[in-house]
Structure 1
Amino acid sequence: MQTAHPKNSNVSRPHPALIDLRNQFASLRMLKEGWDGHDAIPVNPSVLSHATACLEFVLSAKRHVPSPHVAPIADGGVQAEWYGDRYRFEIYFDEDGEIAAWSENLVTGVEMEAEGTDAIQMLAAWTSNLELDSLTA
């Protein structure tokens, strides 16, 4: 009888960026009212769920895209951002369910903005740039 070796297992390892992203979101879930020393409210659980689903979907498709830096927004929303040598990308998930994105190509100086589903499409398109930027860094 043969036993399977872990090296030969067909079980894929979790994407490192997904692990980091989940850890960052777990930290955001712990925030209490006034987390900024002022009147900030905790991140809305539905905002966290939506942001997690969108970002995990995009990151799972691109193995070389690094995890974004995730930060709370004082109104209960979440911001995810990637900063590279050639590109910057930010996406916001706000308390009201709105999504907005902003990007800048640091080589050409071109900036782009989008809202709603266009922001998610912009994120999906920019992951190619983010992946290339991480591979050439």
Structure 2
Amino acid sequence: MRLLFLALVALTAVLHLYIAWFEIFAWTSRGPVVFDTLPAELFEPTWQLAANQGVYNAFLAIGLIWSLLIRDTVWQRRIAFCFLGFVFIAGVAAAMTVSLRPGIFQMVPSGLALILLAVNSRMSGK
């Protein structure tokens, strides 16, 4: 179960590294393709906003990667819980303000990891 938890944390980190790359470097080129329901002329004037948002997604990824590098399991769980919680909340916000699809991509891996963390913590008594 611990290995699955760590894999979900890693998956969530990789997802947010991709989101950060997309928002920082590919907003004007890939944005109109990915968000095809938005007008294409919207992407060029909003690239700075997207890049700023991408930095926040990079921070989420870095926090999750940091949690994977912590050897003390209690602190690893605490840091992972914090950043997984941030990601889950960001997914809820995305689902409410953008569309369900980007929210689901964030909520599912982070939510599953949070559930595994809770179950694992309950079973180990920590």
TM-score (norm 2): 0.34
- Bigger relative contact order (CA 8 A; separation at least 6): 2
- Higher helix share goes to which structure? 2
The higher radius of gyration belongs to: 1
Report which of the two has the higher share of strand. 1
